Amino acid sequence: MLTMIAFVVGMSELIVGGILDLIAQDLHIRISTAGLLITVFAFVFALAAPLLLVVFSKVERTKLISLALIVFIVGNMVAVFSQTFTILLISRVISAASGSVAVVLSINLASRVVAPAYRGRAIGLVVMGISGSLVLGLPIGVFLGNTISWRAPFVLTVFLAVLLLFGIKLTLTKIEASQMVSLSEQLKTLKDKRILLAHATTFFFLAGHFTFYGYLTPYAKEVLHFDGLTISLLYLLYGIAAVSGGGLAGLATDQLGNKRTLLLSIIVLAISLFIIPYTTNTIVLFWFFVMVWGIVSWAITPPVQSHLFAIAAETAEIQQSLNDAALQLGIAFGTLFGSFIIEKRSITETAHFGILFVALSLVAALLTMRGRTEMKEGVM
């Protein structure tokens, strides 16, 4: 149940990138303006959960996750009936704020509803829900958007969220709130430069990735002349690559150490973003490098989280939350920068401009890892 909540919220966040052109056309706005729907969602998602969970720190958890889902349903219903860009933007704010609470609570509850020996696997299953939305939710949403209407994926989201609301009542019992760490206490941990640089690594990595990925659909239609079905296939294959990449990165972190895995992921991402624009005339090469790009695009989380645990084990849970926030802020900034590039330059240049942030991610990674050595078992 908790995994499905993460899946639905993940799909709600990611789907807009696949139907940007349809939204822009229907609401008579530019692609660069439509990209703000991704930027605002990610920005609100990053900041809302830490704030709202403190505000509602005393509310029973099963009740709170149900309330979050109700507000999430309302937000997506507003999207279904939106007739202007402003209303659609407001709907994204509502969905992001409530969705972030639902996801963070799902991860937290997963660790509390099972025996301690199964906590890691339980949390991993919930996180897989978000990854699963890349493989299944996003391609299905893109297909519905291109065959019916851009509103159809939001209708599907509402339908699934309503089912989950009833499912919660059937599967979850009351779970009292645990003590929350204040936001100021969380931010104090960033005084350690290594911790701050680790979060900066994630921020710049995702910013560089989403400068291009946030506008993949209009890029594929304008440059490659893909139709809706081909774009659905593009997102399906990319999603499979991204999920497998997360698993491979976890394995590599254990075998090679988090420093080598992290640096390799960043370098391969930069190479992929550089090469992809030159493969558009050779379709086989394009698909190959899209798969490579997909594999490394979400490979940063295992090595960064492992590194954070090594340097800040006493605040590991806080650092996980802050790193998720850095990830979402990277998505927000990357899509915002991508819209600027489209407006001032060309959509064909988004990949190459994304490399600028990937380079900063590499610098941050080298600095946060400085002075640390690899152990034989792969732990730094």
Neighbouring residues of 352: CB distance < 8 A, sequence distance ≥ 6: 273, 274, 277
Domain closes at, from 180, 202, 234: 180
For residues 235 and 139, the answer to whether their CB atoms sit within 8 Å is yes
CA gap 35, 24 in Å, rounded: 9
Smallest CA-to-CA distance from 203 within 92, 86, 285, 324 is with: 324
Whether residues 43 and 135 share a domain: the answer is: yes
Last residue of a domain, one of 134, 158, 180: 180
Q: Are residues 244 and 343 in the same domain?
A: yes
Quickly list DSSP for 65-131.
HHHHHHHHHHHHHHHHT--SHHHHHHHHHHHHHHHHHHHHHHHHHHTTSS-GGGHHHHHHHHHHHHH
Q: Which of 180, 203, 228 is the last residue of a domain?
A: 180
Task: Say if residues 110 and 4 touch (Cβ distance below 8 Å).
Answer: no
The CATH number linked to 255 is 1.20.1250.20
Report the alpha-carbon distance of residue 356 to residue 335 in Å, rounded: 14
pLDDT digits (tens), the chain, 380 positions:
888 998 999 888 888 888 999 999 999 999 989 999 999 999 999 888 778 877 887 888 888 999 999 999 999 999 999 999 999 999 999 999 999 889 888 877 776 777 766 665 676 677 777 777 877 778 888 899 989 999 999 999 999 999 999 998 888 777 776 666 666 777 787 888 999 999 999 999 999 999 999 999 999 999 999 988 899 999 999 988 888 887 788 788 878 888 888 999 999 999 999 999 999 999 999 999 999 999 998 888 888 878 887 887 777 667 777 888 898 899 999 999 999 999 999 999 999 999 999 999 999 999 998 855 554 434 44
Pick from 301, 304, 279: nearest CA to 289: 279
How is residue 288 written in tokens?
């190959």
CA dihedral 13, 15, 16, 21 (to 10 degrees): 170
- Residue 70 and residue 193 in one domain: no
The overall pTM is greater than 0.85: no
Lookup: tokens for 374? 């690899």
Q: How far apart are CA 157 and CA 106, in angstroms?
A: 17
> What is the extent of the structural domain holding 80?
1-180
Regarding whether 105 and 163 lie in a shared domain, the answer is yes
